[in-house]
Chain A
Amino acid sequence: MKPWPKSYIVALIVAALALFPVGVLFSLASDSSQVFDAYNLEVLVNTLLLMTITALGAILIGVPLAVILTYVQLPWKKFWLVLLAAPLAMPSYLGAFTFYATFGYSGELNAFTGIETPPFDGLFGASVIMIFYTYPFVLLSTRAALSSLDASQVYAARTLGMSLLTSLWRIALPRIFNGIAAGALLASLYALSDFGTPAFMGLDTFTRVIYVEYNAFGLSQAAMLSLQLLVIVALVLYLEAQVKGSQEPPGKHLVFWPNKKQQLLIISGMFPIVLFALVLPLAVFSIWLWRDGLGNFELSYAWNSAQASLLAAMAAMIIALPLAHASLKGKAGKLMERIIFVGFGIPGIVMGTALVYIGLQLPFLYQTLGLLVLAYLLRFLPLAIGSIRTATENLDTSMVNAARLLGASPQEAFRRVTLPLTMRGVIAGGALVFLEAMRELPATLLLGPTGYETLATYLWRVYEAGYFGLAAIPGLLLIFISALGLLLMLTGERFNDIEFNKETQIK
């Protein structure tokens, strides 16, 4: 196999495509007169504050939950784990939307019970929402680190005279530090990239201001802001690449058996998180449905969402197979895969800005479904590649050897052993792309053809118009789609697989 494998050609094309948006932004931003001004500084501070508070909050909730859900024997342990990991599968803008509509003078809570609560918005509101929907990053990465930590080390510390808490602090914590950091950085990345939450909360972060500039026909200013955001994203991604810790072989980890009273205490401590992150949005949308009925919701919104997402998913499945193959083939292939993963780091609003400009330059693409599908593809293709790669990595070479020795030709071995075993990964990857694209908001807002309303953009129009009750059906549908996404994460052979999928949710 001395000449380049054919899969490299596909990989090279896609890698070039993935870098293209960044290049476009550079050329677009060079028209901008303003490089940085006072308002810009405010946006930067807001963004960094939101990011930092989110990371800290996610650690504060995620780490104790991880300790509890790894080491403490609770009744229905798996159920709690699924429930507490579930917010990861839900786009945070659903939370932001419902919280915004629930609290405050004109909020639903006031209307129903007459209890007036302070408005839920701004930096406080955005941070709380972000924490509620990103702590699972920390929970899962810390849990992975904790469960690979052998209990005998803590036992050794205790026989040497340390108390339980001290030995956890001195022995366990330093070893899981990387796990916590990785989760916190993913949470930061989410906070940086998410458009819906700061937008609904009225907090001027980069993503919101880019959209405002775009609407004010300040495309080049939007590009400049996008580049500034990308710099921060790149820094966080760099840090994230640094903390990849050494994977220890799983040993027997600690187990605590709490009594009934302690169990009750722990569960009542976890309950509010579930209540706010999951029950509240579901309840609010349901109440709206019951009160306002279907509103002017049209089935075509759901169909539009499904159409673009399905196209993106199918394209991803077709393209990802040679890409996964290329990344396993050699160093050059690995590099190209890394470049393609850049698309995953580009926030949706930034991708949208870049592709809008491409559309303006190439009129045959402008406002077409094709451009939207391309945006989905560039953003979510890494999900499909990752899923296929996991499947092919598990494929033992001795399995193919066994087939050959039983008399199968290389072609037959591929058809009967390799293909069926990778097919699961391909389908799972396609499904992931589909579900992500169904919920995508910012790029869809910018790139959707005129009159092409999807579930997510309809939710946005409802917010802009202020008739929250109309959001019942799309809101419930989006929650349902998120539940399907969660289900998909859980259908790995073991539940622990969701730890490997933790990077699948960056907006």
Chain B
Amino acid sequence: MIEVTNLSINYGDNTVVNNLSFSLAQKEILMLVGPTGCGKSTILKAIAGLLPIKSGEIKHQSWTATAKKHIAPEKRKLGMVFQDFALFPHLTVIENVSFRLKSPEKAEHWLAVLGLSNFKHVKPNQLSGGQKQRVALARTLAHEPALVLLDEPLSSLDAALKDELRWQIRSALKEAGVPAIWVTHDQEEALSIGDKVGVLLNGKLEQLAPPHECYTTPVNKFVARFLGDANFIQGEYAKTEGVVTSIMGKSVIHINENLEDNVELLVRPEDLNLQANDKGIGKIIWSRYEGKSRLFLVELATGEQLKVRQSNTLQLETGQNVSIAINTASKLNAYNLG
């Protein structure tokens, strides 16, 4: 369990993280995701005690760190997995993993879990990137931390490795039963691995919620765009009915007190249906084959352009007129203009 309250971090006079608050329950994996420079790695370093904080509080079961009261990293009982692995080059794998352990049992256990038993007596520089990162994870888990911090653990690895390794890391964390904060810039990674996803922008947490909630009901347009392809269609909001009327007809939306009369409706490409129709309101601009699906760009009579993802069997020529419809039964989201 960790609780961060009103955390602010400065680099010189630059405020990198501003008034951040969140908490993490037992055994959860929190994915912190955001564009480059949003402060996600900085937050991790501050929690680890590697960076001083300007104000706020970081609270753990057994300690509380504030700007005045710094707790040394080694006193925090946290584990950290680094982007560049940070294995000790002069020690063998088993020596790395049991760095501060009295007996090697835990180390052997985690090496076995992560499939590294054959590399015990090898020096880190003889391992591949994926193996190094698994050793680093084994080292962290063997020391039985109360919370694991992962700082872009997959970003220096080949794409082919990433997919498999992310699931290996997730199941190891689940087996250890520790909460984890995992920083990434990859939205797909964030959505698929996390129990919760926190989307950061300029050092502020825009949304913190389970992955499906972040994806289906993003709190603003930034979150909507960051987590996947997004179309915005202009419409008029009828407060009393909770309905937005647009060129696509009437759509029921999640009620939001702050909405004004003119709004933009979020529609994901997979929530739209196309049909060849000479009298349709849309026209195909281009189509891209994606293997398992096909992505179309459709221009509406209003000039708005929409991305539409369809089955790969649908073939439509460029310039072809189409009818377009929203095919989802769930409520949509609308946002104020701008």
Instruction: Mark A residues whose CB is within 8 Å of B.
Output: 396, 398-399, 401-410, 416-417, 420-421, 493
Contacts and interface: CB of A to CB of B under 8 A. Distances in A.
A421 B74 contact: no
Contact of B74 (A396, A405, A416): A405
A71 to B, nearest CB: 27
A234 B101 CA distance: 55
Chain B interface size, as a band, is 20 to 34
B215 interface: no
Contacts of A416: 99
B48 A398 contact: no
A399 B88 CA distance: 7
A397 to B, nearest CB: 9
A22 B140 CA distance: 55
A398 B84 contact: yes
**Residues of A contacting B: mostly:** helix
Interface string B64-88: 0000000011101111101010111
10 contacts: A396-B84, A399-B86, A401-B80, A402-B86, A402-B136, A402-B139, A405-B80, A406-B143, A421-B88, A493-B125
Given A402-B139, A404-B73, 10 more contacts: A396-B84, A402-B80, A405-B48, A405-B74, A405-B79, A408-B99, A416-B99, A421-B89, A421-B90, A493-B125
A410 B100 CA distance: 14
Q: Which 5 A-B pairs have the closest CB atoms?
A: A402-B86, A404-B73, A398-B86, A405-B80, A407-B74
A396 B86 contact: yes
A102 B209 CA distance: 86
A421 B73 CA distance: 22
A407 B79 CA distance: 9
B50 interface: yes
A408 B100 CA distance: 8
Contact of B99 (A396, A406, A420): A406
Contact of B82 (A402, A410, A417): A402
Contacts of B90: 420-421
Contacts of B140: 406
B23 to A, nearest CB: 21
Contacts of B99: 403, 406, 408, 416
Interface string B41-78: 00000001110000000000000000000001110111
A168 B97 CA distance: 50
A401 B80 CA distance: 9
Nearest to B101: A406
A178 to B, nearest CB: 30
Contacts of A407: 74, 77, 100, 143
Contacts of B74: 404-409
Nearest to B73: A404
A410 to B, nearest CB: 8
Chain A CB within 10 Å, residue with most, of B48, B50, B77, B78:
B50
A456 to B, nearest CB: 36
A417 B88 contact: yes
Nearest to A405: B80
A416 B143 CA distance: 17
A401 B143 contact: no
B88 A405 contact: no
A393 to B, nearest CB: 14
Nearest to A402: B86
B143 A398 contact: no
A405 B88 CA distance: 13
A403 B95 CA distance: 12
Nearest to A420: B90
A420 B136 CA distance: 20
B88 A401 contact: no
A408 B99 CA distance: 9
Nearest to A394: B89
Contacts of A493: 125
B307 to A, nearest CB: 35
Contact of A398 (B79, B82, B125, B139): B82
Nearest to A401: B50
Contact of B73 (A396, A405, A420): A405
